[in-house]
Structure 1
Amino acid sequence: MKLVSWNVNGLRACVRKGFLDYFHKIDADIFCVQETKLQEGQIQLDVEGYYQYWNYAERKGYSGTAVFTKKKPLSVNYGLGNDSSQVEGRIITLEFDSFYLVNVYTPNSQRDLARLDIRLEWEDRFLEHIKTLDAMKPVVLCGDLNVAHHEIDLKNYKTNHGNSGFTKEERGKMTRLLNTGFVDTLRHFHPETEGLYTWWSYMKTVRERNIGWRIDYFIVSNRLENYLIDSQAHTEIYGSDHCPIILEMEAPKNH
């Protein structure tokens, strides 16, 4: 089973830059995207053989998530209930026979940390959502989590301590999530490999010099660890300021 996650930073722009070429070539069983930045009816994608699920932000040109899956899910839920996550279109949860898939675009705490309190409150609600699902079936969580967990996860960690995406509070919430019974799949396979980034500034030559951050993740319930085959970032794929990430795993058996 092959799963892909990609923050496309505007799906219509990414389509103009080759999104569909990559989509068809990678032939994923489940393909998740974040930051679609569009409203219903603003795009028609030729993705025959896939069921499509969209969560649009109310604000135009902002946020949004989508999932394309070859297998029809048992159920689909949007957001975290009656709260701002639904307004901003940040979460889609799909239930399959033997696992839940959660596609998420985590709120950014912003450069001046103006949304840090909102972000931390979100983390608490989101963790409860994941724990509730995990109590019923294992969870595969993917998306742009807007945090570099450890110093190895960004190039210039010394000058970024305390900045958005690398505050002790945000990093602590990630540690808490993993300690609740989850595995960061990339670090499962590459625990000490440096330079494995998924996002780069659009500033000139930054991506070419790999001055990046790893803020996109595939995270799974601990009991799926033995099903994992590979986890990697396709850094050679452009079209967004993020690159796609890929998880290959055996299809889980019913737990």
Structure 2
Amino acid sequence: MNSTPLRITTLNLNGIRSAASKGVDAWLREHARPDWLCVQELKALDTDMKPELRTLGGLQGAFHHAEKAGYSGVGLYFRHEPDALRIGFGASEFDAEGRYVEARYRLPGGMQLALVSAYFPSGSSSEERQQAKFRFLAVFEEHLKELKAQGEVILCGDVNIAHKEIDLKNWKGNLKNSGFLPEERAWMSHVLDDLGYVDVFRALNPNPDQYTWWSNRGQARAKNVGWRIDYHLATPGVAALAQRGSEAIYTAERFSDHAPLSIDYALPF
């Protein structure tokens, strides 16, 4: 059994080829060294995935590509070979958009663990997309219940929701904007308070000004006018294995309009 904490990093790449051109692979190999890497917004079809993109950070990857070229797509890279992989979560409307990869492990001591990379829809482009986002949240809530009933879960990814006022700089100006709508925030509260998931980063770090995404407009990143919309959501048993002080949002280099979020877990491998 491995007593060394194992690192899980999540990052919305805003295009895997773009992020690769900005040095994300070297950062992963030399600095972050995650055991699992959850990525979102591949913006690449399977035919676009050159060998160096399939083994990012020296890890082996599994992918869920969108049917539409240059759109969405997620990946999950792993150092430890899963016992099972699942591509898509069974909702045809959203599986066509490439939003879900799950790696399942049977660990020593009987723990069943599902590790998920997920990309929730954004509703910011139109009312039509906002309604699609609400449909996603409704169907994905049922999936979260099913996952939790099967064992421990760590879901990492871009949820496209800032939960509380502390989770974005300009909350007063965004009360009617997608990503901070009352219905979206209530959904997050329901997942945490009623379904029993844990917002692991926030459990470890109660401090303000902790953001993972910044608009490309108006020097938002330089001024840290950001949003925290990238999460580790975990069931309580495995959330309790998260190592306080390991949580890190990496901003020294820029691979995307999002920043990588890493947390170490004392998982019994």
| Interval of TM-score (by shorter of Structure 1 and Structure 2) | over 0.9
Deviates more, 1:224-233 or 1:88-97: 224-233
The residue number in structure 2 matching 1:241 is 257
The residue number in structure 2 matching 1:189 is 204
Residue 82 of structure 1 deviates from its aligned partner by 4.6
The residue number in structure 1 matching 2:67 is 58
Normalised by the length of structure 2, the TM-score is 0.89
Task: Say whether the 8 Å CA contact 1:57–1:63 is kept in structure 2.
Answer: yes
Deviates more, 1:139-148 or 1:129-138: 129-138
The residue number in structure 2 matching 1:85 is 94
Q: Write the mapping of 1:79-158 to structure 2, written as runs, cut at 5 A.
A: 79-97=88-106, 98-158=112-172
- AA of the residue aligned to 2:197: F
The residue number in structure 1 matching 2:26 is 21
Residue 87 of structure 1 deviates from its aligned partner by 0.5
Instruction: Find the aligned partners of 2:118 and 2:64 in 1 and give their Cα distance.
Output: 10
Task: Say whether the 8 Å CA contact 2:196–2:235 is kept in structure 1.
Answer: yes
Aligned length: 252
Instruction: Find the aligned partners of 1:65 and 1:225 in 2 and give their Cα distance.
Output: 23
Instruction: Find the aligned partners of 2:42 and 2:146 in 1 and give their Cα distance.
Output: 27
Q: Which residue among 202, 219, 241 is the counterpart of 1:227? A: 241
- Structure 1 gaps of 5+ residues are none
Instruction: Find the aligned partners of 2:239 and 2:146 in 1 and give their Cα distance.
Output: 19
1:206 and 2:220 matched: yes
Residue 110 of structure 1 deviates from its aligned partner by 2.0
The residue number in structure 2 matching 1:74 is 83
Q: Secondary structure at the match of 2:263?
A: strand
- AA of the residue aligned to 1:128: E
Q: Secondary structure at the match of 1:57?
A: coil
Instruction: Find the aligned partners of 1:225 and 1:43 in 2 and give their Cα distance.
Output: 33
How large is the Cα RMSD of the aligned pairs? Answer: 1.5
Deviates more, 1:234-243 or 1:6-15: 234-243
Deviates more, 1:107-116 or 1:120-129: 107-116
Instruction: Find the aligned partners of 2:205 and 2:267 in 1 and give their Cα distance.
Output: 22
- AA of the residue aligned to 2:253: I
- AA of the residue aligned to 2:40: Q
- Structure 2 gaps of 5+ residues are 1-5, 107-111
